[in-house]
Amino acid sequence: MAVTTDRMGADDYLATADSRPRHTELIDGTVVVSEPKLPHTRAQTELIYRLKSWIEAGEERGYVSVPNDVVVDDYNVFAPDVWWVGERRRPQPDQLDLVGLPDLVVEIRSLSTWARDLGTKLPAYEGAGVAEAWYVDTEAHTVMVFRRSRTDSPTFDMTAEVRADDELTSPLLEGFALRMGAIFGA
């Protein structure tokens, strides 16, 4: 559901942080509100828990977070459902915002935003240089993985679909493996 009719810039959107509704993003200059349902929040909670456990089980494994404003460009400020950065970009305890984009973004299906997640946000993440994106489809019980084969690759040139009984791994997350059924309540 869109909240604004006039195209808004990222700076103006960020200036409304204290007054805008929860669960909003600026997508192509339009403020969009989503209200996640239980399958969405179940998958989000499980992913955060699994990634946080993996981080705490080793050393220098980066940082994982729930939605925060992430400035993609002048007309896009996204709030990925889960995001991760490597150790060299780990935010300091007193840091208020992430500088730059996450290395890994996770978007989880919400009925009101799924078309924008795939149609607008995925190409924006790709164009801005995000290394990897996971698109969790809570209806199909699959995860679409988009990644770059090399750090200097201009596009997501590797894609995969991970099903509920498959294991999700990533070259960004050495040693991390998750049987996907766990995030779908299976």
Residues 2-30 pLDDT 10s = 555 679 999 999 999 889 988 899 999 99
According to DSSP, the residues that pair with 135 across neighbouring strands are 107, 144
The domain locations on the chain are 35-184
Q: What's the whole-number average pLDDT of the chain?
A: 92
Name 90's Cβ contacts closer than 8 Å, sequence gap at least 6: 62, 63
Q: Name the CATH topology of 35-184.
A: tt1808, chain A (3.90.1570)
pLDDT for the residue 186: 61
pLDDT for the residue 94: 87
pLDDT for the residue 50: 96
Q: How confident is the model at residue 1 (pLDDT cuts 50, 70, 90)?
A: very low
Asked if 109 and 40 count as a contact pair (C-beta separation under 8 A), the reply is: yes
Q: How confident is the model at residue 127 (pLDDT cuts 50, 70, 90)?
A: very high
Q: What is the pTM of this model?
A: 0.92
Q: What is the mean pLDDT of residues 135-146?
A: 95
Q: What is the mean pLDDT of residues 104-128?
A: 93
Asked if 116 and 107 count as a contact pair (C-beta separation under 8 A), the reply is: no
